[in-house]
Amino acid sequence: MTDQTSVGQSTLSIWGGEQEHELYERSTQVPVVHSVSFTYKDIDTWHDVALEKAPGHIYSRNTNPTVRAFEDKLKELESAEAATSFASGMAAISNVLGAFLKPGDRIVSIKDSYGGTNKIFNNFLPPLNIDVCLCETTDYAQIEDEIDKGCQLLYLETPTNPTIKIIDIKRLAAAAKKVGALVVVDNTFATPINQNPLQLGADIVLHSASKYLGGHADALGGVICGSLALIKQVYHYREINGATLSPMDAYSFIRGMKTLKLRVERQNQNAMAVARWLQSHPQIEQVNYPGLESHPNHDIASQQMRGYGGMLSFSVKGGLDAIKIFLPKLKYAHMAANLGCVETVVGPPLTTSHVECSAEERAAAGIPEGLVRYSAGIEDIEDLITDLEQALSYL
C-alpha cells in the first residue's frame, strides 16, 4: 500500500491501488478485464484461491482485477483497511443495510437523506420489522436522545441533498459508540478530497461513484470503505446477492479519479464564487452553501471539511414557475438528475433528488418547490456567472 501519511491526495488518486497489480504486457494503465471467470491449471491452486488462501480471482461476480484496482484506489484515499464496490450507489446503501440489519433492529437517521435512501427507510425496511427513526437533520438533542434509546445503526449523510446541511460526524459517532451502534456515512457530496468520515469516528464510509469519483457522468457504481472485518461482511452479502460493479465502469472510475483532486478543488472554488454572486442577486431568496459565513452550519463545516464542496442550492423568487423560465435559459448547464461531473448540472428537487416524493412530502422535508440544486462544474467561473446573469434576466 502507498504510504498514506507522506503522500498527497492527488498522488494517491493517481497511483493508489495501481502499484500492487501486475500490469498486463507492460501496459502503464490498468487493463479492463472483461473475463467472467479465471482459469487454473491445477485443482489445488484453484482451491486455495477460492478459499482466499492465495491471491487471485475465481469469478467476476465476486472479484475482478479491474474492479479490485478501483477499490484499492478508494481505500487509500479514505485511509481505510478495506473497500468493496457495487453496481450503483443505491446498491452500496442497500447492501450495507442488508448485511448489518436483521428483524427487530432499530436504525436512527436524518430526514434529509438522499431520496432513494429515504425510500428504503420509509418503505422497504419497516415491512422487514426494522424500526427506522428519522430525526430533524441538525437537531442534535433529538438525534442523541433517539440514539440513547438504543439502536444498531446510525446512518448519516453530510452535506445533505438538496438542502446542503452539515452534520457533526464526530459528535454523533461518539454518541452511537456509547450504545454500540455501527456508524455509516454517505460521503458522496463531500468526496474523500474534502472529508474523511472514518477519521471522524465512522465505521463505514460510502460513495455513489457515479458522481464525483467518476466525474464524467458516464459510469454507474458505488463503493464502501472500513475495517477489513466489516467490509468482508458486506462483501460476502454482495457477492451472493450479486450487485457487482462491472469492469468497464470500474475502469471509467479509475481514469476519472486520476483528476479527482484537480476537479474537486476547482468545483469547490466555482461553487463558492457562484454562491457569493447569487447571494447578492435581487431575484434570489436564499442560498445554501456551507462555505458562506451566513450558513447555519458554517463552523462545523470548517472543522470537519477541507473544502466546502461543489454542491449548493438556492431558491428563486416566484418559485417553480420562475425556475421553469430561468433554468432552460442556461447555456452551460445540463438540466439533469446527476451531479458531481465536469459539466455544471442544475435541477429542482421535484425532478432530481426528491422525484419519488409527493409535493406534501417535499414540503414536510423543508424543500421549497422553487429550490434549484446546482452542481458546479469545472468551467471558467466568469462564464458560469455571466450565464447565470443572462438567464436570471428573463425573470
Ligand X SMILES: *Cc1c(COP(=O)(O)O)cnc(C)c1O
Does 208 bind ligand X (CB under 6 A)? Our answer is yes
- Closest approach, Cβ 196 to ligand X, in A, equals 16
Catalytic residue list contains 211: yes
- Closest approach, Cβ 186 to ligand X, in A, equals 5
Query: Per CB under 6 A, which region of 61-69, 175-183, 208-216, 319-327 contacts ligand X?
Result: 208-216
Cα dihedral 82, 87, 91, 93 sign: positive
89 vs 349 by CB, closer to ligand X = 89
Does 186 bind ligand X (CB under 6 A)? Our answer is yes
Strands 182-186 and 204-208, sheet pairing: parallel
| Gap between the Cα atoms of 349 and 160, Å rounded | 12
Closest residue to ligand X, judged by C-beta, is 89
| Gap between the Cα atoms of 224 and 80, Å rounded | 10
Catalytic residue list contains 149: no
Does 89 bind ligand X (CB under 6 A)? Our answer is yes
Does 347 bind ligand X (CB under 6 A)? Our answer is no
| Backbone torsions φ then ψ of 314, nearest 5 degrees | -150, 150
Residues 6+ apart with CB under 8 A from 115: 161, 353, 354, 355, 356, 357
- Closest approach, Cβ 300 to ligand X, in A, equals 18
Taking Cα atoms as reference points, which of 97, 152, 94, 105 lies closest to residue 129? 105
Catalytic residue list contains 186: yes
- Closest approach, Cβ 274 to ligand X, in A, equals 19
Does 189 bind ligand X (CB under 6 A)? Our answer is yes
Cα dihedral 73, 78, 79, 84 sign: negative
| Backbone torsions φ then ψ of 154, nearest 5 degrees | -110, 125
Does 349 bind ligand X (CB under 6 A)? Our answer is no
Does 304 bind ligand X (CB under 6 A)? Our answer is no
Does 271 bind ligand X (CB under 6 A)? Our answer is no
Catalytic residue list contains 61: yes
Strands 153-157 and 106-110, sheet pairing: parallel
Does 188 bind ligand X (CB under 6 A)? Our answer is yes
What residues form DSSP beta bridges with 108? Answer: 133, 154
Does 88 bind ligand X (CB under 6 A)? Our answer is yes
- Closest approach, Cβ 54 to ligand X, in A, equals 33
Strand, coil or helix: 284: strand
Does 212 bind ligand X (CB under 6 A)? Our answer is no
The residue within the footprint of ligand X, chosen from 32, 90, 176, 322 (CB under 6 A), is 90
Does 210 bind ligand X (CB under 6 A)? Our answer is yes
| Gap between the Cα atoms of 374 and 51, Å rounded | 47
Binding residues for ligand X, per CB under 6 A?
A: 88-90, 114, 116, 157, 161, 186, 188-189, 208, 210-211, 220, 222
- Active-site positions read 61, 114, 186, 211
